[in-house]
Structure 1
Amino acid sequence: MDKLKLRQVIKNKRKNMTENDSSSSSNMIKEKFLGLDLCRNKKNVLIYVSTKLEVGTIDLIKELLDRGVNVYTPKVINLEDGLMRFIKISSLDDLEVGCMNILEPKSNLLELDESKIDSTFLLVMPGLAFDKNGHRLGYGGGFYDRFCNRVTNDLLKVALSFDYQIVDSVSVNEFDVSVDVVITEKEIIRCK
């Protein structure tokens, strides 16, 4: 299935998910993430701030901050070029409505120096669909692919996904970045 059609199929499925189901599944995914050794031991987490249609990350961000983890969330720098940077936050109060009405770090906070990203960091990536090989269908802006192609290959990439977002195959091109692990409410998929 081509990317455009797959995006529409997943968006339609997402519209049918109740708020209660989304919240319950997001909580199960959060607990799986926090219990996974690969994730639990990371001191630096780069993580998206969820919209109401994605696996919820707000409670996960709060938990990570409470555990003393360095949490960085994305801020769109240039929408046309698909450029985002990660900014360290110390609480949810550091977020404000930004690009595309998504919560982003406030403008007075400092960007993460991307040259400092190493194997102590973990990236939590959003997406519309994933396959069991770690291939990811994003939203079409290329923000995460560009970011990953700028930083070290040692960066562990984890996707949080509702089970219905797992598909047989996601078509990819040379610029698409795959994830290492996909966590759903039903399973943990180790892709590499």
Structure 2
Amino acid sequence: MLKQDLRKLFIEKRASISLQSLLNSSLTLSNKLLKLPIWGFNNYHIYLPIEKKKEIDTSFILSILQGKDKNVIIPKVIGSNQLENYLLTDSTRLKTNKWGVPEPVDGFKVAPQDIDVVFVPLLAFDNNGNRIGYGKGYYDTFLKQCKPNVIKVGLSLFPCVETITDVYKGDVPLDYCITPEKTYFFNTP
């Protein structure tokens, strides 16, 4: 399917989920992450969810990261297709931007090349590890700035689709994608 058709379909699917189901799925998904071979690193990038769009509740993953004493890095939109990344600390102040994304007001910047693992938001993904988001390109731009071996872990409420037919050269595929039902492995040994 084409990205625009998948985007519309999965926005509708997500909107129909109950808040309790979203919470349960988010918890299940975060527990499944513990089985991935990704925990030997220091710097983990995670997004904070847009609640009104029923994105996966990443607070469970944050608890895991903090419990494992990892450095947690969160993004801030700074311009067209650009993110800055900040270390999340006890003193980090958050403000919700115009899209409903909680983001840091200021703090300690972290260079993309210093990030080891990125938890990637998405609307849908295919069986080749290609993903689609809201279509603005923030994460594709950001992931290209990371080191070549950064581990990219997609988080999805739904299983993969067979194929996204209009993948283009600038799209950055995932290494893993976790759903409440299944773990998908793509570019991994």
TM-score (normalizing by structure 2)? 0.91
Structure 1 position 147 matched with structure 2 position 142: yes
Give secondary structure in 1 for the equivalent of 2:48. Answer: coil
**Higher mean Cα deviation, 148-157 or 90-99?**
90-99
Query: Residue in 2 aligned with 1:76?
Result: 77
Distance in 2 of aligned mates of 1:69 and 1:14: 30
Distance in 1 of aligned mates of 2:75 and 2:150: 16
Q: Contact between 1:33 and 1:40, CA under 8 Å: does it hold in 2?
A: no
Q: Contact between 2:114 and 2:146, CA under 8 Å: does it hold in 1?
A: no
Q: Contact between 2:76 and 2:86, CA under 8 Å: does it hold in 1?
A: yes
Can you list the C-alpha shifts for 1:25-82, whole angstroms capped at 9, x where unaligned? 110000011232x22323210111112211110221133123211000000011xx21
Give secondary structure in 2 for the equivalent of 1:163. Answer: coil
Query: Residue in 1 aligned with 2:10?
Result: 10
Q: Contact between 2:124 and 2:131, CA under 8 Å: does it hold in 1?
A: yes
Q: Which has the higher helix share?
A: 1
TM-score (normalizing by structure 1)? 0.89
After TM superposition, what 4+ stretches of structure 1 lie above 4 angstroms from structure 2?
A: none
Matched letter for residue 90 of structure 1: T
Mark the CA change 1:186 to 1:4 in structure 2 (over 3 Å): closer, same or farther: same
Can you list the C-alpha shifts for 1:97-150, whole angstroms capped at 9, x where unaligned? 22412110122x021123434xxx101000110112100011111001011112
- What's the offset of the Cα at 1:184? 0.5
Distance in 2 of aligned mates of 1:138 and 1:176: 11
Can you list the C-alpha shifts for 1:6-32, whole angstroms capped at 9, x where unaligned? 111111111111111111011000001
Between the aligned residues of both structures, percent identity stands at 29
- What's the offset of the Cα at 1:2? 1.6
Distance in 1 of aligned mates of 2:92 and 2:147: 30
Q: Contact between 1:125 and 1:160, CA under 8 Å: does it hold in 2?
A: yes
Query: Residue in 1 aligned with 2:114?
Result: 116
Distance in 1 of aligned mates of 2:98 and 2:34: 29
Mark the CA change 1:2 to 1:152 in structure 2 (over 3 Å): closer, same or farther: same
Distance in 1 of aligned mates of 2:3 and 2:28: 28
Distance in 2 of aligned mates of 1:32 and 1:84: 28
Structure 1 position 103 matched with structure 2 position 102: yes
- What's the offset of the Cα at 1:179? 0.3
Q: Contact between 2:156 and 2:177, CA under 8 Å: does it hold in 1?
A: yes
Residue segments in structure 2 that go unaligned for 5+ positions in a row? none
Mark the CA change 1:160 to 1:39 in structure 2 (over 3 Å): closer, same or farther: same
Distance in 1 of aligned mates of 2:78 and 2:47: 15
Give secondary structure in 2 for the equivalent of 1:14. Answer: helix
Residue segments in structure 1 that go unaligned for 5+ positions in a row? none
Q: Contact between 2:74 and 2:88, CA under 8 Å: does it hold in 1?
A: yes
Distance in 1 of aligned mates of 2:105 and 2:145: 23
Give secondary structure in 2 for the equivalent of 1:110. Answer: coil
Q: How many residues align?
A: 184
Mark the CA change 1:17 to 1:92 in structure 2 (over 3 Å): closer, same or farther: farther
Structure 1 position 178 matched with structure 2 position 176: no
Q: Contact between 1:62 and 1:92, CA under 8 Å: does it hold in 2?
A: no
Q: CA RMSD in A?
A: 1.6
Query: Residue in 1 aligned with 2:126?
Result: 131
